[in-house]
Structure 1
Amino acid sequence: MGRFTFNLPDIGEGIAEAEIVAWHVKVGDRIEEDDKVADVMTDKATVEMESPVSGTVVEIAGAEGDMIAIGSALVVIEVEGEGEVAAAPKPVETPETPPVPFVSSEVETPPTAPEPEPVALTPERVSTSLDTNGGGSKVLASPAVRARAQDLGIDLAQVRAAADGRIRHADLDAFLSYNGAYRAAGGKRADEVVKVFGLRRRIAENMAASKRHIPHFSYVEECDVTALEAMRGQLNAAKGDRPRLTMLPLLIAAICKTLPQFPMLNARYDDEANVVTRHGSVHLGMATQTPGGLMVPVIRDAQDRNVWQIANEITRLAEAARNGSAKSEELSGSTLTITSLGPLGGVATTPVINRPEVAIIGPNRIVERPMFVPDGMGGERIEKRKLMNISISCDHRVVDGWDAASFVQALRRLIETPVLLLDS
């Protein structure tokens, strides 16, 4: 018997290290050639590492969330024969559908160290088990995830797993976000320490960079969407085999129709070169909640699409982002972003700009309130109206408050007179 050391190969992109985001093996596992060993993440992609040999895992390099240098040992495998001291690293192609965080893949991320310290090999740190959970259904999750779920009183069979069928801590986080009342009230539970890694770490780094570099300011205005909601109902009644319209595609159409008057908002700012690029096309980023965190699929050339086409793209891109099938070009290159929490939208929001863009728009929850409206005879009457606040955050280095307010007022006029949306 001998030992074969599988070194982390060169993943490309000129990187010096990668992050371990998932283990598919544990010490003592018997694996075959081409079996998945681990998933590692760079700044732009998650790559699956496959074993080049068959044998038994005797050592693994660190835990999920640890950084590992390119060329250093990832796993040590006991094999038949003499084995090898190290596996010669070979380039690995970046997958076509990398998961990308809420910030475009072109956004600056902290530089990696040119010569990182090798990660020490440790005994078993992570294990994955497959068993049954209620009703005979199989649930794939690590012992740490199972222990946390048990502590939270969560039935893993009720949690939506990632595309590979495994339930991770991020999936539990997403479940809790949408099921806040799941845990029974009452009773004190122990403090919980959750390691921040993978997509969640990338989101944290990029959001911190956005707030650190960009002097944000926000502006909020109330819009009467009664007429817009009435038109949406009429369009849905005559939709045929087309998708049902939500408010979002109508708002996107209104944004695209308003932007030509305010080119400074549909822009990207390269603060190192001191260059602002005002884009003629609207590549609209759409902040989307996924099990791993926020991602921003991009509706290309939104200005050339009608509301039905926009609705189709919203559905297609959101599902691709959630199931991990979105392509890299569908997750980068946005020129302006819209972020909506739907019925959870709140009264007002102050969204964080998707750097290097210079603005982000956030529609909020629709509420019904009594309003004074003209009665057609020179007076006023009280009427129930549907109202929604529109929030916008801007980069004050390149967008003035007057510009942001003027844009929202122009958008408001279009929203409150929705027939103008149909005017080409």
Structure 2
Amino acid sequence: MRRRLLSSTLVVAVIAVLLLGVPLGIVVSRLIVDEAAAELQGEANRLVQEVGYAQIQDAPIDPEQIEQNYPDRYIQIYTTGNPPKALIVGTEVSSDQAMWEDAKSDDGIYVRVTRDRGEVEADVRARLLLIVALAAAALAVAVGLAIVQSRRLTLPLQDLAKIAERLGSGDARPSKHRYGIAELDRVAEVLDRSASRISDLLTREREFATDASHQLRTPLTGLTMRLEEIVAASDQPVIVREEGEAAIVQAERLTAVIDELLAAARRQRHAQAEPMSVDEILIQQITEWEPAFRRAGRGLLLEGSRGLRALATEGGFGQVVATLLENSLRHGGGVVTVTTNLSDNYVVIEVADQGSGIPDELAPKVFERNVSGGGGTGLGLTLARALAAADGGRLELIRRKPAVFALFLRPANERNRVVTGPA
């Protein structure tokens, strides 16, 4: 912004100087030339009068006196008489550099006064140089004022940008900075009011998360202990043990989510998205969901490239895959296929089923909150997309019928490490 302000001010100043300076230079040069011509004409007229007076007085014309009275002039005087007389005074000027004026009286006296045009041109150049110097000084003053004004405007704007960035990162402290510019002060006041409101909202949300975490932790811990006892003491068919183990894993995952909520409420740093095995997370989820698909008479397959690694958090990645599998189980049909592959910039995990797909009117807003086509809460895909974005990836619907969802994660390497959550 500072550069644009300086350049625009300089352009305006240059245009103003040109619009004023160029006509002024032309007028000044013409005035000097006209003044020199008028001076020569006046000298010629005076000489005619002096010669005529001398003739009336029958006095001789003194060339030395004329040269003394009109220095740097080449003067030609012609008088009538018997015989006619001619008088030359001064040094002759070459015709290409000569500037002259004539005068003639009624009794036949003719006078021509000539001077060197170079002297007039030197005077014109001197005046033009003075105009150029004044124009340069005006431009320098304009640039100086533009620098001062740009600093006065851009520094407060940079400060406001830092305040807004701090608000976006979760630091909701009002700055109370004022800059003496009415418009910028109004913006600062609005940011301060927004910071106060955001601070109140964050405080209430942290208190809610803390209360919810403490209230849910106890029943979840009891549920985990009971399920562990069931698995340890069970001598029933394998299906009971399988379901119990899956329930334990699910309860432990829910407990981990609550720990993350509690850490966020206490403003602790979230875990970094780290390189992890895509196969490990997918096999874990398929193992958990395969019994449910088997009971529904449907298959669950894992295909595509193996050994891929992506940047993600274990909880976020697993929750996104779990949401997609649950949606396929509830709203899809046929065999569900999880396919992995590596594109140019992403590790892609596709979840596809063989059902009737997503209605055309629902597809554009399938990721919007509270939008559901099958009696659900309308929150699953919204939260799944948010979790994917938090890991630096994205979740997209790439085909409507039959439905195919794709999770794009960044390939695992040290240059692509990302941080989820506020620092």
TM-score in terms of structure 1 length: 0.19
Q: Which has the bigger relative contact order, CA under 8 A and spacing at least 6?
A: 1
Q: What TM-score does the superposition give when structure 2 sets the normalisation length?
A: 0.19
Answer 1 or 2: which has greater strand percent. Answer: 1
Which structure would you say has the larger Rg?
2
Greater helix share, structure number: 2
